[in-house]
Amino acid sequence: MSEVNFSKRVLSIEPSLTLQISAKAKQLSTEGKDICNLSAGEPDFDAPKEIINATSEAIFDGYTKYGPAAGDLELRKAIAKKLQIQNNLNVKFENIMVTNGAKQAIYNLFQVLLNDGDEVIIPSPYWLSYPQIVRLAGGKPVFIDSSSEDGFKINIQDLKSKISSRTKFIIINSPSNPTGRVIPKEELLQIAEVVREHKNINILSDEIYELIVKKEFHHISLASLATDLKERIFIINGFAKGWAMTGWRVGYLVGQKDVIKASSALQSQSTSNVCSFVQRGALEALKINQEFFLKINTHYDSRREILYKGLKDIKGLFVYPPNGAFYAFPRLPDNLMTSVDFCNRILDDYGLVVVPGKPFGDDQSFRISCASSKEKIIDGLSRLKKAILKYYS
Ligand SMILES: Cc1ncc(COP(=O)(O)O)c(C=O)c1O
């Protein structure tokens, strides 16, 4: 058989470790093994009924044709209104485009603004797709480390030291996947100050988990604190996490209107519009009242607490308390076993599925999710405790 001559672009993509682990878990489960899966990256409930009804009605009402690549005007206007009211941002529909999930918003942005060799600073641990999407656009990821003891704080001196003449972007993600960290206001202001000093640097602010935050915390959009940087701050967000609409694939990009135009042109020649009737569902999602979010956050808060307390009680693990999203990112007692080996071994021995830290930039940690029932979290913690005791004592 002749060898396939793959493009350099596609060869730069690393195979997904997460998918490998979940495929193995599925296989073991079909073989009858008792599996406890705490790897979920999505809510464990369905989207609210109103959204589902509005979407199915939209099919019967004929929202089934091609639409504008940038998204339906009504939805773009509704997103602008949401950003004005909830995030205190001065934006209009021209600053917004609807994308196939938040992921495509990041993809479009980097395709539109990065040239070969441009650098993107990514604080570590990071969401695993950032470096891959940067590379696909010809860019070079530059990482800054943080430690769990420091609460994953972005060290401003480190950030400054990584800036070069090729730096084009800094990525921030709050609340964070995988650490659950919410970046405090003072740190956001410091980051804005650094960007102010460098005219060619933009910010990508990933706010996909904005609606999932612990009671006493609240999400702040950096752009609302630095209105003078309005033209250089790009927000990505979407409906996946807050409204449990992961498979619906609706996200959006917010920013300077010429960039939005270029990104729409790119999308018009690649995927075109996001599914027309799903956009009607997203419009309905924006009408869901605050009570819904209070309710889901009460659930997440108690599960996050069970997860954090359970992890803290396992001798040898170090965990920083997560304050948002639905993950914790504990560190293993030592680095004798890689995170990938640990996750494979605990799956084989105890049937527990957790995600290795390696693709998130930390090979001594793992991601564990609380987007599951309390019973499942407690079961997973008990398996984890036994494993740590066996492997590390
Ligand atoms: C931090 C972060 N950003 C972006 C995304 C992508 O979201 P979407 O499903 O809307 O593409 C995810 C999904 O897991 C995420 O965790």
In the reported structure, the alpha carbon of residue 316 is separated from the centroid of ligand 1 by a whole-number distance in angstroms of 31
Q: Which string of DSSP letters, residue by residue, matches 142-208?
A: EEE---TTTTT---HHHHHHT--TTEEEEEEESS-TTT-----HHHHHHHHHHHHT-TT-EEEEE-T
Q: Does ligand 1 come within 6 angstroms of the Cβ of 220?
A: no
Best CA proximity match to 129, nearest among 153, 105, 148, 147: 105
Q: Which residue's entry shows tokens 């914790």?
A: 328
The model's pLDDT over 8-45, given as tens digits with 9 standing for 90+, comes to 889 888 877 877 888 898 999 999 999 999 998 899 99
Q: Does ligand 1 come within 6 angstroms of the Cβ of 101?
A: yes
In the reported structure, the alpha carbon of residue 248 is separated from the centroid of ligand 1 by a whole-number distance in angstroms of 12
- Is the distance from CB of 273 to CB of 97 less than 8 angstroms? no
Q: Does ligand 1 come within 6 angstroms of the Cβ of 240?
A: yes
Q: Does ligand 1 come within 6 angstroms of the Cβ of 206?
A: yes
In the reported structure, the alpha carbon of residue 99 is separated from the centroid of ligand 1 by a whole-number distance in angstroms of 12
Q: Does ligand 1 come within 6 angstroms of the Cβ of 18?
A: no
Which element (helix H / strand E) includes 187? helix 185-196
**Strands in 56-130 per DSSP E:** 96-99, 119-123
Distance CA 276, CA 254 (A): 20
Q: Which atom of ligand 1 is nearest to the CA of 177?
A: 1
And the tokens for 268?
Answer: 């018009």
The model's pLDDT over 256-290, given as tens digits with 9 standing for 90+, comes to 999 999 999 999 999 999 999 999 999 999 999 99
Q: Which residue's entry shows tokens 């918003």?
A: 105
Q: Does ligand 1 come within 6 angstroms of the Cβ of 102?
A: yes
pLDDT given for residue 18 in this prediction: 79
The model's pLDDT over 174-226, given as tens digits with 9 standing for 90+, comes to 999 999 999 999 999 999 999 999 999 999 999 999 999 999 999 999 999 99
Q: Does ligand 1 come within 6 angstroms of the Cβ of 251?
A: yes
In the reported structure, the alpha carbon of residue 341 is separated from the centroid of ligand 1 by a whole-number distance in angstroms of 26
Which are the contacts of 322, defined by CB distance < 8 A and separation ≥ 6?
Answer: 179, 180, 181, 304, 307, 308, 328, 329
Q: Does ligand 1 come within 6 angstroms of the Cβ of 369?
A: no
Query: Which whole-number Å values give the CA distances from 210 to 46, 107, 205, 206, 361, in the listed order?
Result: 19, 20, 11, 9, 22
pLDDT given for residue 292 in this prediction: 95
Best CA proximity match to 173, nearest among 225, 230, 235: 235
Percent of the chain whose pLDDT exceeds 70: 100
Task: Give the 3-state secondary structure of residue 297.
Answer: helix
In the reported structure, the alpha carbon of residue 102 is separated from the centroid of ligand 1 by a whole-number distance in angstroms of 6
In the reported structure, the alpha carbon of residue 389 is separated from the centroid of ligand 1 by a whole-number distance in angstroms of 34
Which element (helix H / strand E) includes 254? strand 251-254
Q: Does ligand 1 come within 6 angstroms of the Cβ of 43?
A: no
Confidence (pTM) = 0.97
277: left (phi over 0), alpha (psi -120 to 50) or beta: alpha
pLDDT given for residue 40 in this prediction: 87
What are the structural domains, with CATH classification, of the chain? Answer: 8-46+291-386 (3.90.1150.10), 65-285 (3.40.640.10)
> Residue 323 CA to chain centroid, in angstroms?
15
Distance CA 174, CA 188 (A): 10
Average pLDDT of the chain, as a whole number: 96
Q: Does ligand 1 come within 6 angstroms of the Cβ of 330?
A: no
Best residue among 133, 171, 177, 211 to mutate for probing ligand 1's pocket (most ligand atoms within 8 Å of CB) is 177
Q: Work out whether strand 366-369 and strand 355-356 pair parallel, antiparallel, or are unpaired.
A: antiparallel
Q: Does ligand 1 come within 6 angstroms of the Cβ of 127?
A: yes
Q: Does ligand 1 come within 6 angstroms of the Cβ of 39?
A: no
pLDDT given for residue 392 in this prediction: 95
Best residue among 98, 99, 103 to mutate for probing ligand 1's pocket (most ligand atoms within 8 Å of CB) is 103
pLDDT given for residue 12 in this prediction: 86
Q: Which atom of ligand 1 is nearest to the CA of 100?
A: 11
pLDDT given for residue 393 in this prediction: 87
pLDDT given for residue 1 in this prediction: 60
The model's pLDDT over 71-120, given as tens digits with 9 standing for 90+, comes to 999 999 999 999 999 999 999 999 999 999 999 999 999 999 999 999 99
In the reported structure, the alpha carbon of residue 160 is separated from the centroid of ligand 1 by a whole-number distance in angstroms of 27
pLDDT given for residue 17 in this prediction: 80
Q: Flag whether pLDDT at 341 surpasses 70.
A: yes
Q: Which atom of ligand 1 is nearest to the CA of 249?
A: 10
